[in-house]
Amino acid sequence: MTKLNSYLSLIRFYNPIGFWLLLWPGLWGLFLSDNFNIENFTIVVLGSFLTRSLGCAINDFLDKDFDKSVERTKNRPIASKELSLSEAGIFIILLASFCIFLLMQTNPYTIKLVSYIAIPMIILYPLMKRFLAMPQLFLGATFGLSLPISYSIAESTLSLEVIFLYIGCIFWIIAYDTCYALCDLDDDKKLNLNSSAIFFGKDTQKAIILFSMLFLGVIVIFAIKNYSLILGAGAVFLFYQIYFQNELSKANKNLDAFKANSHIGLVIAILLFIENQNELFS
């Protein structure tokens, strides 16, 4: 049972916020499609869980030497040697196999999109904090891919409005992951690692608000273009959340501010579902 808990800890099973933050944009893309069905929904949910699990495992495998020097991560299974590198490596291969099997249940367009773009980015992301001054930009582009991928699962193509919403999603992810980066600010400086919190320095709060407002702008433009009153009303909630999270961050409750973003993802998912899938109720 102890070994099982180590594997569950490796994939953050007991801390599912990352799963939700990956899933919500995936559901946005799915709800925007004209081919929403239970099969596609199941693939998106399982795919989000497995992909997030794989990403966490790869991240811990590559960051094992850094994790043991950081207070928040020193007890992770690989860093604390609860799992050996060979055990973790075999588990990563197993997770990757499940992901590939699920991917093969989709369509050629999605398979190419994931194979040529998503997989390399998932593998490279853990290394970005060593080389990029603002690795959150790469994270945003990687994590936000759940939106166009899920849309392509249903439609076997991409639309300009989905790509536009994906760009907005990148802004959102940069904002909330910068809140998260503030939690590790001192440790990252000691280890000479990069983060947006270090990059923006004393202007970090302003940067978070800026990226959040850019995301809000994308949602508003998207709502106007699609004559969506309900999504426009959702923008009011989003504006409140930006204010609320800023207050949390100013009170040094950055982890709470980060987690609050799941509410944003959920509300937008519900509004897009009501707006675009209302025929399911008729």
> Quick one: fold of 2-277?
Tetracycline Repressor; domain 2 (1.10.357)
What residues have CB less than 8 Å from 21, skipping those under 6 apart?
Answer: 143, 173, 176, 261, 262, 265
Question: Which residue do the tokens 């811990």 mark?
Answer: 60
What pLDDT does residue 280 have? Answer: 58
The answer to whether 260 and 248 have CB atoms below 8 angstroms apart is yes
- The pair of three-digit structure tokens given for residue 263, joined into one six-digit string: 């509410």
Count of alpha carbons within 13 angstroms of residue 85, beta-carbon side: 5
Nearest CA-CA partner of 195 in 187, 167, 122, 248: 187
pLDDT score at 122: 86
Taking the C-alpha atoms of residue 212 and residue 228, their distance in angstroms, rounded to an integer, is 20
Helices 135-143/160-183 angle, 10° precision: 130
- Average pLDDT of the chain is 91
Tell me the whole-structure pTM to 2 decimals. 0.93
The secondary structure of residue 72, as a DSSP letter, is T
Residues of the chain below pLDDT 70: 1, 278-282
Q: How far apart are CA 239 and CA 161, in angstroms?
A: 22
Q: For residue 161, what pLDDT is reported?
A: 94
